[in-house]
Amino acid sequence: MGSFLKGQRSGHGQIKMKDGFKYAGEWRVGEIHGWGTATYGNGDVYIGSFLEGKRQGRGTMRYATGTVASGTWLDGTLKPKVIE
């Protein structure tokens, strides 16, 4: 569900996959891009920014185990905090 531009998802929308993955948020040129919520089949939930389908920028991952990881993500990975 959502908006399409030239046959590709664009703007706000949502998708639900057979493997349990769900996403609601922004799309650009057919890719998850911008702010959104991704729920993974294993129960993990990420709320935050995406760039071309990967977690990028500010966001919070709530793992199914109860662990919460929040901060700045780069290329799908949480950047470690540098303390000076």
Q: Domain containing 39 — which CATH number?
A: 2.20.110
Please report where in the chains the tokens 């890719």 appear, as a residue: 31
Does residue 72 lie in a domain region?
A: yes
Q: What is the pLDDT of residue 80?
A: 77
Q: How many CA atoms lie within 13 A of 36 on its CB side?
A: 26
Q: What is the 3-state secondary structure (H, E, C) of 24-72?
A: EEEEECCEEEEEEEEECCCCCEEEEEEECCEEEEEEEEECCCCCEEEEE
Does residue 83 lie in a domain region?
A: no
* Total structural domains within the chain: 1
pTM metric for this prediction: 0.88
Q: Are strands 2-5 and 77-78 parallel, antiparallel or unpaired?
A: unpaired
Does residue 46 lie in a domain region?
A: yes
Structural domain boundaries, residue 69: 2-78
Q: What is the pLDDT of residue 38?
A: 98
Each of the 84 residues of the chain gets a pLDDT tens digit; together they read: 667 777 788 889 999 999 999 999 999 989 999 999 999 999 999 999 999 999 999 999 999 999 999 999 999 999 976 555
